[in-house]
Homo-oligomer: A and B are copies of this chain.
């Protein structure tokens, strides 16, 4: 019994954390409640005494199904739903008409085979990547509406009435969702994506700093820095989130600093290059935890240069994050990049002078000297990656 109580308490503690972490989520829940209540008030005038099956229920259904967390997702779903319903309805009416013209014997055969063929092909279309990304929900609604209308035994003239009523209720439900989600504390997918990318840059900068500091300083790192240092792991797995957000952002109207055709795809490119940096940091991290320790004197030889390099490149990243956040060019970025480049040169030089040092000190060290160069060398691709990112971002600056 105590175990169950503990589990329940844990569950609520987690739920509480979710709410505290992001108050917008609570706002979203309230918005759903408001939209539902308003729609139900709207139908208070003509109560649903005709049955739950009455057409008014479609408005409620639309609100529940369509209302998503971000404005983009809601827009995407509502447009998909409207188009899917409309297309399928029109097609079903056409098939009905053809079937009714072809005599009593063929009518059910035509209707049922049309359902089979269209359901099969629409389901197949959901596997095609382009359709899956943008029109998945529309295809499902298409199948649903088409089979409902085609199977129903209505006459064609009745159908028009029905279609009109259904479409109007869906429009009411959908526009209610859009109004609430766009005008009461809107949560824009585009903005989320923007800040996600900026935050990821900051996390990478912190990780890079932490990683190199951890390697060269012997002092035990405290909990706080440890947590910062692990930030790159979020970046590793951010691909799915970024793609979903970019996909929804495409549907959103102009808001804040973002125009309608904001180049959302560029964010995906930045995200990809950030991830490739994160892979490097992951590899770097592997070296830190490796059992082979480099001799102290080499560490000292390279410590200064590489710490400087790391701090310069993390400055670049932070500067980039700042630029992305404020969406304003800053002149300090160019200086920071120059600093980073000269730091790369310094590291190169330090590496070049290493063999001659090795020769001098050879007698008093054990021969495993190579491992020391790993973290430094691995910083190199990281730097090329981050300078690549700089390029991409400057390209974006132009498009903004």
Tell whether, in the assembled complex, residue A124 and residue B52 are in contact, meaning their CB atoms are under 8 Å apart. Answer: no
Interface readout for A234-276 with B: 1 if CB under 8 Å, 0 if not? 0011011000000000000000000000000000000000001
Contacts A19-B124, A116-B37 hold; do A53 and B57 have CB atoms under 8 A apart? yes
Distance in angstroms between the alpha carbons of A35 and B362 in the assembled complex: 77
CB-defined contacts of A128 to chain B, threshold 8 Å: 11, 14-15, 18
Q: Please judge, given known A-B contacts A30-B120, A370-B373, A377-B370, whether A151 and B351 are in contact too, CB under 8 Å.
A: no
Contacts of A129 in B (CB 8 A): 14, 18
Residue in B closest to A16 when the chains form the complex, CB atoms = B128
Question: In this assembly, does A184 line the interface, its C-beta being within 8 Å of a C-beta of chain B?
Answer: no
Mask of A137-165 contacts with B, CB within 8 angstroms, 1/0: 00010011001110111100000001000
Known: A29-B119, A64-B147, A352-B368. 16 other contacts (CB 8 A): A11-B128, A18-B124, A29-B124, A30-B120, A32-B143, A33-B115, A33-B120, A33-B123, A36-B116, A37-B115, A40-B112, A237-B239, A276-B286, A280-B283, A283-B378, A378-B378
Complex A-B, nearest 8 residue pairs according to Cβ-Cβ distance, in ascending order:
A53-B53, A286-B381, A283-B283, A33-B120, A47-B153, A29-B123, A33-B116, A370-B373
Which A residues fall within an 8 A CB radius of B?
A: 11, 14-15, 18-19, 25-26, 28-30, 32-34, 36-37, 40-41, 43-44, 47-49, 51-55, 57, 60-61, 64-65, 108, 112, 115-117, 119-121, 123-125, 127-130, 140, 143-144, 147-149, 151-154, 162, 166, 236-237, 239-240, 276, 279-280, 282-283, 286-287, 290, 292, 351-356, 358-359, 362, 367-371, 373-374, 377-378, 380-381, 384-385
